Amino acid sequence: MSHGPLAGLRVVELGGIGPLPFCAMLLADLGAEVIRVDRPMDAGRPGFPVLHRGRRSIAVNLRDPAGVAAVLRLVENADAVIESFMPGVAERLGLGPEQCLKLNSRLVYGRISGWGQDGPKAREPGRDINFIALSGALHAIGPATSAPVVPLNLVGEFGGGGLMLAFGLVSGLLQAARTGIGQVVDAAMTDGAATLLAMAYAFSGTGKWCDERGSNLIDGAAPFYTTYRCSDGEYIAVGALEPQCYAELIVNLSLENHRAFSRQHDRQLWPAMRMKLAEVFAKQPRNAWAAFFEGTNACVTPVLSLSEAPLHPHNAARSTFRIGPSGAPEPAPAPHFSRTPAGDPAPAPRVGADTRKVLAEAGMQDSEIDALLNKRILG
C-alpha cells in the first residue's frame, strides 16, 4: 500500500535518463504509483539505483505498433504521462499528447526537454551546461578571476528540469481534479534555470546586482559569505550575512578590534578582511572549527563530502538520508508531511520485472502477453 500525499495517483514514465527519472522518483517517493516503461533489450538488468526506486518496470518496444498499443492501455487509466524524448519523437511513436489525451481527456501529459517544445533551438541537442549557459545561471557562478564553475547538473537538469516538471505535473493534476480536463506541461530546463534566478534578476532590476561573476554578496565576493581552507585541507563555509551574525563571527574569532572588520559592507576593506579570515581559518582543521562554532549564531558550518553528510547529527536527526538496498546511504524522500508521511521507497526494480503483472492489471489476457513476449515486443 502506498503512503504519502500522492497515494492513489498513477503515472506512466516513458523511459528516459537523468531529470525524467528524478521527477518520477519524487512522485513515487510521495506515494504515486509510477510505472516505468523500459526497453526490452535491457530486460533483466538492475534498475538505476536511487533514481529508479519506488516504482514498477515494464519492458516494451515502443518502435513496434503493438508495443505502443500495450502502453496506451496503461494511459487510458493513468492520471499522468511523463516523457523526455526530443520534440516530435513521442508523436511519431504514436504516444504524443494528442494521441494520449484523445484516449484520456483528464490526463496530464508532462514533457521535459532542454530547450522546450518550441523555439529556434527546440530540436538541437544540448546538455545541462548548455541550458544553464543560455539562462544566465552559468555566467553567475564562480570566482571573478576564473572561468564559470559548473554546478554539477543541479541547476539545469535536476532543479530547473526534473523538480520543475514535478511541480508542473502536480499543478496540472490539481487543475484536472477540479475540471476533469487534462493538459500538456512543457518543462524546459533552460526556462526552469531562469526561474531559479528570480532573486538575482530581481536584484539586477533594482540595481543591486553586479552582472560580473564573483562581485555580489551571495556569489562568494563577500569575505563573510564564502569558504575558507583549513589546516587539514578541508573547507569551512561562512554565511554571516546579517549584522548580528557577522558581529558574532568576529567576536568569536577575537577580531572585533581589527580595523579590517570595522565596517562589514565597506568593499574597500574586503580584501584585508578576506586575507585575515583565511589566515585565521588556516590555523586549525575543519572539524575543530565546526566544533568551535557549534551552537553559535555566526553561521559557520563544515563543508561536508557526499560520504560525510549522512553522518552529520542534524541530518541523522531529521532522517535526511536513509540506508538504501545496497547498504549505502541515499537521500530520503522530501519534504516531510505531518499527516501523510512518505513511506520507505522500494528498491529500483529490475528492468521489465513487472511487465506481465502490470499489463494483466490493464486488462490484457495471458495469451496476448505471451504473444508479445514471443515476438520480443515485451521483455
Q: Which 3-state string (H, E, C) describes 63-107?
A: CCHHHHHHHHHHHCCCCEEEECCCCCHHHHHCCCHHHHHHHCCCC
**In this predicted model, what pLDDT tens digit does every residue of 338-373 receive, in sequence order?**
999 999 999 999 999 999 999 999 999 999 999 999
Are 341 and 318 contacting, i.e. CB atoms less than 8 angstroms apart?
no
Average pLDDT estimate for 130-140 = 96
- DSSP helix/strand/coil, 58: strand
**For residues 204 and 66, what is the distance between their CA atoms, to the nearest angstrom?**
54
pTM (global) more than 0.85:
yes
**In this predicted model, what pLDDT tens digit does every residue of 34-43 receive, in sequence order?**
999 999 999 9
Peptide bond before residue 335 is cis, with ω within 30 degrees of 0: yes
Q: What is the amino acid identity at position 184? A: V
* C-alpha cell read off for 23: 521527477
DSSP E strand boundaries for the chain: 10-14, 33-38, 56-59, 80-83, 108-113, 183-188, 225-229, 235-239, 300-302, 321-323, 329-331
Q: What is the amino acid identity at position 110? A: G
Percent of the chain with pLDDT over 90: 99
Has residue 1 got a pLDDT over 90? no
The closest alpha carbon to 270, from 206, 216, 309, belongs to 216
**What pLDDT does 2 receive?**
73
Average pLDDT estimate for 176-195 = 98
State the residue for C-alpha cell 572549527: 289
**In this predicted model, what pLDDT tens digit does every residue of 143-176 receive, in sequence order?**
999 999 999 999 999 999 999 999 999 999 999 9
The pLDDT-based confidence of 3 (bands split at 50, 70, 90) is confident
CA–CA–CA angle 118, 75, 179 (5° rounding): 75
How does the average pLDDT of the chain come out, rounded?
Answer: 96
Average pLDDT estimate for 44-65 = 96
Q: Which domains does the chain possess? A: 10-196+323-374 (3.40.50.10540), 225-315 (3.30.1540.10)
State the residue for C-alpha cell 553567475: 140
- DSSP helix/strand/coil, 12: strand
- 260: phi then psi, degrees, rounded to nearest 5: -65, -20
**In this predicted model, what pLDDT tens digit does every residue of 213-252 receive, in sequence order?**
999 999 999 999 999 999 999 999 999 999 999 999 999 9
Are 71 and 12 contacting, i.e. CB atoms less than 8 angstroms apart?
yes
Q: Please state, as a whole number, how many other Cβ atoms lie within 10 Å of the Cβ of residue 368.
A: 17
The closest alpha carbon to 39, from 77, 112, 92, 93, belongs to 93
